[in-house]
């Protein structure tokens, strides 16, 4: 029909089906809703026919492309991409549990996850017990008739501790529990927990998978039954990822293997370098033979990763002196970007804990956590050498 320029501005570009060949890169479907030519098409879309998109909170091609890629990479049937790692963890726990249920959780879980369990889910009468999951014998006595979930991390923060998957899988099978593993620190390049018997993997895509510190997103990956159940909650609660963010993560994903290789190689060099420094009290890195779980790490991971922490004398003051004297390396309360960064667990990720709780977990006030980046390893070591020289003995 003939339209005025006022109407044309709205309708001129509508429904343009311009592409005959396949785009090399998945395009960004930056649309909140899809339109239909007939009620028959509406029926097909609502009955779940493939490609029948309706409204982007229910599903969007850019987001779905990332979901399919992540499912393949983690070795799951399906994945669900969410607006953050915490959104993925929240959707997972609230789908698996209901009022009156109980969760067993690693005591050194990421602070956000621990806070969710301790302060938010308790309001809905979902209780949690926190335990040192590096000691499997301590877990079994905590199982109750109402226990539904065990949640752990592949590599924990900031002590880089591991859990023995074989022991945990035997336990969850014996008591019919759902094992959820946060694989953020390892990424599927270093570990695929579903292959080792976990039921669900959650991860912050904000970290290694996107890898460029410019997106906040998360995902949960697993078997169809679990993911369909979580998807119901996810669509109703609404913490979906934007198509553009999904596209950016997809772009980051393509270099994940290369980045993880370089993060790992650089972290090993820095860990060995720091170990040899007289002002460093100790270094936590699973790749070091002196790490208490080095053998387990070699068995469960296909690389030791890009994260390490070390302790300097002098508590928070000592750590602050080192952090201030770094020149190339910035203080960043996140991780897994291309640039090396440091953080201070006592003042950031674990500030919600009391000093006694931190001491019990082994988190010293003089601890500095390093997310080792992709720069030349000698430059990274030189910056730390310079910073340590500026610290009082």
The H or E element spanning position 234 is helix 224-237
Shortest distance (Å) from residue 36 CB to ligand PLP? 34
From residue 175 to residue 214, what is the string marking binding to ligand PLP with x (rule CB under 6 A)?
A: -------x-xx------------------x-x--------
- Residue 241's SS3 state is coil
Residue in the block written with tokens 């936590």: 284
Shortest distance (Å) from residue 146 CB to ligand PLP? 25
Q: Which of the residues 114, 161, 207, 369 is marked catalytic?
A: 207
Whole-angstrom Cα Rg for the chain: 23
Q: Is 56 a binder of ligand PLP (CB under 6 A)?
A: no
138 is catalytic: no
Q: Which of the residues 182, 199, 245, 365 is marked catalytic?
A: 182
Residue of 112, 115, 292, 362 that binds ligand PLP (CB under 6 A): 112
Shortest distance (Å) from residue 111 CB to ligand PLP? 8
Shortest distance (Å) from residue 327 CB to ligand PLP? 25
Q: Is 60 a binder of ligand PLP (CB under 6 A)?
A: no
Q: Which of the residues 110, 231, 259, 358 is marked catalytic?
A: 110
Task: Please say whether the beta carbons of 316 and 366 come within 8 A.
Answer: yes
DSSP letter (8 states) at residue 288? S
Burial of 333 (0-12, 13-18, 19+ CB in 10 A): middle
Q: Is 216 a binder of ligand PLP (CB under 6 A)?
A: yes
DSSP letter (8 states) at residue 179? E
110 is catalytic: yes
Shortest distance (Å) from residue 72 CB to ligand PLP? 21
Tokens at 259, concatenated = 């980045």
Q: Is 153 a binder of ligand PLP (CB under 6 A)?
A: yes
Q: What angle do CA 331, 335, 337 make, to 5 degrees?
A: 95
Number of residues that bind ligand PLP (CB under 6 A): 14
Q: Is 66 a binder of ligand PLP (CB under 6 A)?
A: no
208 is catalytic: no
Q: Using CA of residue 230, residue 236, residue 242, residue 243, what is the dihedral sign? A: positive
Residue of 56, 78, 84, 226 that binds ligand PLP (CB under 6 A): 84
> What is the C-alpha to C-alpha distance for residues 120 and 114, in angstroms, rounded to an integer?
10
Cβ count within 10 A of residue 294: 16
Task: Please say whether the beta carbons of 27 and 244 come within 8 A.
Answer: no
Q: Is 242 a binder of ligand PLP (CB under 6 A)?
A: no
Residues that bind ligand PLP (CB under 6 A): 84-86, 110, 112, 153, 157, 182, 184-185, 204, 206, 216, 218
Q: What residues act catalytically? A: 57, 110, 182, 207
């Amino acid at each position: 029909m003939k339209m005025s320029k006022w109407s044309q501005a709205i309708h001129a570009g509508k429904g343009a089906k311009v592409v005959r060949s396949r785009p090399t890169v998945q395009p960004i479907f930056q649309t909140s809703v899809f339109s239909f030519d007939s009620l028959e098409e509406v029926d097909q879309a609502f009955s779940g026919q493939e490609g029948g998109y309706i409204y982007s909170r229910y599903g969007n091609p850019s987001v779905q492309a990332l979901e399919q890629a992540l499912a393949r990479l983690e070795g799951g049937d399906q994945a669900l991409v969410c607006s953050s790692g915490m959104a993925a963890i929240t959707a997972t726990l609230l789908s698996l549990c209901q009022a009156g249920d109980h969760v067993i959780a690693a005591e050194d879980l990421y602070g956000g996850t621990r806070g969710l369990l301790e302060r938010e889910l308790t309001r809905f009468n979902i209780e949690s017990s926190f335990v040192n999951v590096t000691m499997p014998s301590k877990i079994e006595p905590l199982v109750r008739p109402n226990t539904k979930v065990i949640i752990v991390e592949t590599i924990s923060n900031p002590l880089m501790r591991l859990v023995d998957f074989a022991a945990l899988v035997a336990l969850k099978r014996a008591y019919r529990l759902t094992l959820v593993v946060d694989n953020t620190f390892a990424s599927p390049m270093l570990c695929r927990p579903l292959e080792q018997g976990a039921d669900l993997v959650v991860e912050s895509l904000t970290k290694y998978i996107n890898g460029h510190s410019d997106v906040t997103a998360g995902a949960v990956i697993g078997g169809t039954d679990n993911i369909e159940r979580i998807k119901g909650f996810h669509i109703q609660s609404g913490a979906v990822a934007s198509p553009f963010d999904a596209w950016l993560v997809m772009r980051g994903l393509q270099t994940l293997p290369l980045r993880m290789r370089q993060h790992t190689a650089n972290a090993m060099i820095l860990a060995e370098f720091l170990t040899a420094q007289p002002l460093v009290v100790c270094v936590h890195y699973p790749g070091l033979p002196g790490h208490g779980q080095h053998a387990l790490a070699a068995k469960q991971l296909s690389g030791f990763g890009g994260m390490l922490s070390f302790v300097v004398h002098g508590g928070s003051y000592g750590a602050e002196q080192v952090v201030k004297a770094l020149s190339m390396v910035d203080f960043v309360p996140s991780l897994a970007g291309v640039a090396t960064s440091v953080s201070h667990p006592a003042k950031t990720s674990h500030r919600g804990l009391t000093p006694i709780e931190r001491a019990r977990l082994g988190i010293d006030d003089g601890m500095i956590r390093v997310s080792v980046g992709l720069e030349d390893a000698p430059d990274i070591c030189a910056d730390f050498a310079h910073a340590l020289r500026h610290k009082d003995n």
